[in-house]
C-alpha cells in the first residue's frame, strides 16, 4: 500500500476500505518513506562534499536531494494550486515550494534541498499514522462470526453472518458469538457483552431480553429472533462511528498550517509588487533580486522545524516512560486537555474480580462458606467461579453437580445438599440485609445455601486499581475535571467513581452513548478519553485525544487512539498531560520566534539593508536557537521515581459477572 500524500491544511485522504486485505508495511519497506529517506541521505552527502570543497559535486548531490524530496509534495501542491478553491490552494506545501524555488534561483541549492527533505519526511510520517489508524478498524469486525445457525423452514441451516435477516431465528450454543442484534425467544444463559458495552459483569438473559451482536454466550443454548440484518447491527455501527471520527480529525489543520495560510498570499503579493516596482522605476535587476531575497527572508525554514523538533523531542522522551504518542497533532492536542474521561473496567479497575466481603449466618465462619462454595464452583463455567475458588483456603470435593445457566449451581459436599447462586434464585433468609448492603456497594452477590438454609453471602467486585485515586487527585490538582463512562450498572459505577474521586459518572452506556457523551464534552472543552476495550474505540476516536491503556489490549482501541500506554499505571496520565502542556508551550514559543524572524527580516530585505548572505545567516542562527529550545522538550515527564509497569492485560475482554 502506498499512502496518499496530502497537505493537511487543505484536506484529508479518502478513507481506506475497512477490509482491503492489505496490512501496513514495516516502515523500512514503506514506499512513501523511500523518497524522503533518500533526500535526507543525499543532503548529508552534499554537506560533506561542500565542507571538503568539492563544489560541483555537492551542487549535483543537493539537486538530486531536492528532486527526491520535492517529488513527494510539489506535484500535489501544483495540482491543488490549479484545481482547489480559495485558501484551499495554499498551505505549507506551497510555501515550501516557493521557498525552494527562490533559494535555487539565488544559487542556494543546499538550503532548498534541506527544506524539501524536512517537509517530505514530516508529511510521510503523518500519512503513515493515519493509514495505520484506518487499517485498525478491521479488528472491530472480527467479533462477528463468519457463519450463524439459523432456524428456517422448520430446519436448522448454517448461513453466512452477513446473510442473516431481521426476524430470522438464530440458534446460539455455549461459547458461540451472537451474529446480530436480537431478542431471546427461548432459553436462559448469561452473556459476556464486555467487548461491546464495556459491562464488566456478564448478564443473565432469558426470553424477552435484548442481546447485542458480538456478545459471547455462556453455558446455555439460546434461540434469538434477529432484530437487525447481519450487515447493519450495533457492531457495524461502531465501525462507522470510528470511520466518521477519523475523517473529522483528518480535516483539522495543524498549528503550523493555520499560521502559514495567511502568510503565503502575503509573501506572494509582496514579491510580485516588489518585482513590478523595479520595472516601474526602470531598475528591474535590483528589485527582482530584492524580491527573491524577500522570498528567502519569508521562507518557512524556521517555521517548518519549529513544531517537529519540539514534538520529536517530547514524544521520544515520553516513549521511554511507556507513553507512546502517535503523531505531532495528537501531542499538540494533548497539551490543551481540560477534561479526562475514563472507561471503568480494565482502566480504573483491575479487570480481576475478587471476593471482597463474606457475611455468614450463625454457626458458620468465612472459611467454611468459601470452601463449600468453591467446591461447587470448581465445576462451573461462570466467570465469577475463579474468584471464589481463589479465595477458598480449603479444597472440598463436590458430587452430583448440576449447573442452571443464569441462576446457579447445585451439588452435594460431604453428604450435604449445597446450592450457590443468585439472590433471585436462592432466598437469603436472615442475610437479606447483608445482600442489600453488598449490592449497594457495587458488588455482585452470591448466596450459599446448605440443606435449604442460607449460611452465607459472598460479595465480589472488580477492585479499583491501587493508584487510581492518587492519579485522579493529581489530575484534579492540575485544574482538569474527570468523568467515567461505563457499560456497568449504575450502582456499581457510582461506587467505583466515589472511591476513585471521579467528578462525573455515566453508567449503562453503549458504544454510541459513550461516543455522544465524548462528542458533547469535546465541543465544550478539549477532552481526552481513556479506555482499553473494543467498545471504547468510537469514543477514543471521537475525543480530542484518545488514550489506549495497555498495548496488548484491544487492537481496535489501540489503533483508534492517538496515545497508547504500554502499561496500566494511571499515574502516567497526569504526568503525560503536564508533559504535553510544557511541550506545547515550547512549541508555541518556537513558532513565535520563527514568525518574529520573518517579521524582522522582511522589511530589512525589502529596503536592501540585508543582502542574501546576511538573510541566510540569520535564518540559520534562528534555526539553531529553535532546535536548542525544542530539545528542552526532551526532558521526560515528572514521574516521581515510579517504575513503569510493563505488564498488560492478557485479554481485552473484561469479566465481572452478574449474579446468576
What local confidence, expressed as pLDDT, does residue 214 receive? 84
Q: How many helices (H) and strands (E) does the chain have?
A: 21, 22
Torsion of CA 324, 325, 326, 331, to 10 degrees: 180
What local confidence, expressed as pLDDT, does residue 342 receive? 92
Listing DSSP states for 523-544 in one string gives HHS-EEEEE-SGGGHHHHHHSS
- Output the CA angle 574-578-584, nearest 5 degrees: 145
Q: Give the three cell numbers for residue 620.
A: 540559520
**Which stretches within 320-384 are classed as H helix?**
328-334, 366-377
77-105: pLDDT as tens digits: 888 777 766 555 565 567 677 767 877 87
What CA–CA distance (Å, rounded) separates 474 from 502?
Answer: 12
The percent of residues in the chain predicted with pLDDT above 70, rounded, is 75
220-253: pLDDT as tens digits: 899 999 998 888 887 776 666 555 554 544 333 3
> 381: Cβ–Cβ under 8 A, 6 or more apart, which residues?
174, 218, 219, 403
CA 17 from centroid of its chain's CA atoms: 20
* DSSP H or E segment with residue 290: helix 284-297
What local confidence, expressed as pLDDT, does residue 25 receive? 67
What local confidence, expressed as pLDDT, does residue 140 receive? 54
Instruction: Report yes or no: 236 and 219 within 8 Å, Cβ to Cβ.
Output: no
List the catalytic residues: 343
Look up residue 97 and give its DSSP letter: H
Q: Give the three cell numbers for residue 190.
A: 448469561
Q: Over the chain (660 residues), what is each successive 10-residue block's mean pLDDT? A: 37 38 62 84 89 86 91 83 63 68 77 77 62 52 81 86 90 90 91 65 83 86 91 72 49 52 74 86 80 74 69 72 74 90 84 87 91 90 82 88 84 92 88 88 88 92 86 93 85 85 88 89 93 76 84 55 76 89 87 85 83 67 77 67 36 35
Q: Give the three cell numbers for residue 570.
A: 494511571
Of 21, 513, 593, 477, give the one whose Cα is nearest residue 237: 513
What CA–CA distance (Å, rounded) separates 306 from 145?
Answer: 49
What local confidence, expressed as pLDDT, does residue 512 receive? 82
What local confidence, expressed as pLDDT, does residue 645 receive? 37
Listing DSSP states for 99-131 in one string gives HHHHHHHTT-HHHHHHHHHHHHHHHHHHHHHHH
- Output the CA angle 58-54-101, nearest 5 degrees: 30
Q: What is the pTM of this model?
A: 0.59
Q: Is the dihedral of CA 153, 156, 159, 163 positive or negative?
A: positive
What local confidence, expressed as pLDDT, does residue 638 receive? 59
Q: What is the mean pLDDT of the chain?
A: 78
Amino acid at each position: 500500500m502506498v499512502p496518499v500524500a496530502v497537505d493537511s491544511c487543505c484536506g484529508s485522504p479518502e478513507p481506506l476500505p475497512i477490509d482491503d486485505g492489505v496490512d501496513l508495511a514495516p516502515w523500512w519497506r514503506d514506499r512513501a518513506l523511500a523518497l524522503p529517506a533518500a533526500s535526507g541521505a543525499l543532503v548529508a552527502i552534499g554537506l560533506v562534499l561542500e565542507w571538503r570543497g568539492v563544489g560541483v559535486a555537492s551542487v549535483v548531490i543537493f539537486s538530486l536531494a531536492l528532486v527526491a524530496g520535492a517529488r513527494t509534495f510539489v506535484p500535489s501542491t501544483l495540482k491543488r494550486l490549479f484545481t482547489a478553491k480559495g485558501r484551499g490552494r495554499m498551505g505549507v506545501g506551497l510555501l515550501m515550494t516557493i521557498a525552494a524555488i527562490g533559494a535555487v534561483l539565488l544559487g542556494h541549492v543546499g538550503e532548498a534541498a534541506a527544506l524539501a527533505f524536512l517537509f517530505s519526511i514530516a508529511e510521510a510520517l503523518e500519512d503513515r499514522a493515519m493509514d495505520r489508524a484506518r487499517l485498525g478498524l478491521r479488528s472491530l469486525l472480527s467479533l462477528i462470526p463468519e457463519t450463524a445457525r439459523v432456524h428456517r423452514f422448520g430446519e436448522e441451516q448454517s448461513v453466512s453472518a452477513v446473510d442473516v435477516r431481521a426476524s430470522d431465528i438464530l440458534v446460539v450454543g455455549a461459547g458461540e458469538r451472537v451474529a446480530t442484534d436480537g431478542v431471546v425467544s427461548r432459553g436462559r444463559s448469561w452473556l459476556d457483552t464486555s467487548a461491546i458495552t464495556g459491562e464488566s459483569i456478564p448478564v443473565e438473559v432469558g426470553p424477552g431480553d435484548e442481546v447485542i451482536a458480538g456478545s459471547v454466550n455462556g453455558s446455555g443454548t439460546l434461540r434469538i429472533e434477529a432484530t437487525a440484518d447481519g450487515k447493519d447491527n450495533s457492531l457495524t455501527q461502531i465501525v462507522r462511528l470510528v470511520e466518521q471520527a477519523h475523517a473529522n480529525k483528518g480535516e483539522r489543520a495543524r498549528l503550523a498550517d493555520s499560521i502559514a495560510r495567511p502568510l503565503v498570499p502575503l509573501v506572494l503579493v509582496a514579491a510580485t509588487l516588489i518585482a513590478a516596482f523595479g520595472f516601474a522605476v526602470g531598475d528591474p535587476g535590483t528589485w527582482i533580486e530584492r524580491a527573491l531575497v524577500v522570498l528567502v527572508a519569508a521562507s518557512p525554514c524556521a517555521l517548518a522545524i519549529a513544531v517537529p523538533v519540539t514534538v520529536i523531542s517530547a514524544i521520544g522522551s515520553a516513549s521511554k516512560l511507556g507513553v507512546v504518542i502517535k503523531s505531532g497533532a495528537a501531542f499538540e492536542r494533548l497539551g490543551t486537555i481540560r477534561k479526562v474521561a475514563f472507561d471503568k473496567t480494565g482502566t480504573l479497575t483491575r479487570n480481576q474480580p475478587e471476593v471482597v466481603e463474606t457475611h455468614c449466618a450463625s454457626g458458620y465462619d468465612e472459611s467454611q462458606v468459601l470452601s463449600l462454595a468453591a467446591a461447587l464452583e470448581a465445576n462451573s463455567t461462570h466467570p465469577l467461579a475463579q474468584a471464589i475458588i481463589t479465595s477458598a483456603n480449603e479444597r472440598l470435593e463436590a458430587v452430583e453437580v448440576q449447573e442452571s445457566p443464569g441462576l446457579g449451581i447445585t451439588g452435594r459436599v460431604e453428604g450435604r445438599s449445597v446450592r450457590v447462586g443468585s439472590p433471585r434464585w436462592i432466598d437469603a433468609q436472615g442475610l437479606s440485609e447483608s445482600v442489600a448492603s453488598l449490592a449497594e456497594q457495587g458488588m455482585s452477590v452470591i448466596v450459599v445455601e446448605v440443606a435449604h438454609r442460607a449460611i452465607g453471602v459472598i460479595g465480589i467486585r472488580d477492585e479499583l486499581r491501587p493508584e487510581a485515586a492518587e492519579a485522579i487527585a493529581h489530575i484534579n490538582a492540575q485544574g482538569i475535571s474527570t468523568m467515567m463512562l461505563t457499560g456497568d450498572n449504575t450502582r456499581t459505577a457510582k461506587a467505583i467513581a466515589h472511591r476513585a474521586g471521579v467528578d462525573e459518572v455515566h453508567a449503562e452506556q453503549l458504544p454510541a452513548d459513550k461516543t455522544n457523551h465524548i462528542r458533547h464534552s469535546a465541543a465544550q472543552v478539549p477532552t481526552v478519553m481513556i479506555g482499553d476495550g473494543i467498545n471504547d474505540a468510537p469514543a477514543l476516536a471521537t475525543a480530542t485525544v484518545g488514550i489506549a491503556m495497555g498495548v496488548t489490549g484491544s487492537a481496535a482501541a489501540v489503533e483508534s487512539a492517538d496515545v497508547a500506554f504500554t502499561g496500566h499505571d494511571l499515574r502516567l496520565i497526569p504526568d503525560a498531560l503536564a508533559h504535553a502542556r510544557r511541550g506545547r508551550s515550547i512549541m508555541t514559543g518556537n513558532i513565535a520566534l520563527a514568525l518574529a524572524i520573518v517579521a524582522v527580516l522582511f522589511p530589512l530585505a525589502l529596503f536592501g539593508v540585508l543582502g542574501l548572505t546576511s538573510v541566510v545567516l540569520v535564518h540559520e542562527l534562528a534555526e539553531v536557537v529553535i532546535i536548542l529550545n525544542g530539545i528542552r522538550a526532551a526532558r521526560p515527564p515528572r514521574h516521581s521515581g515510579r517504575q513503569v509497569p510493563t505488564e498488560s492485560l492478557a485479554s481485552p475482554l473484561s469479566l465481572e459477572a452478574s449474579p446468576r
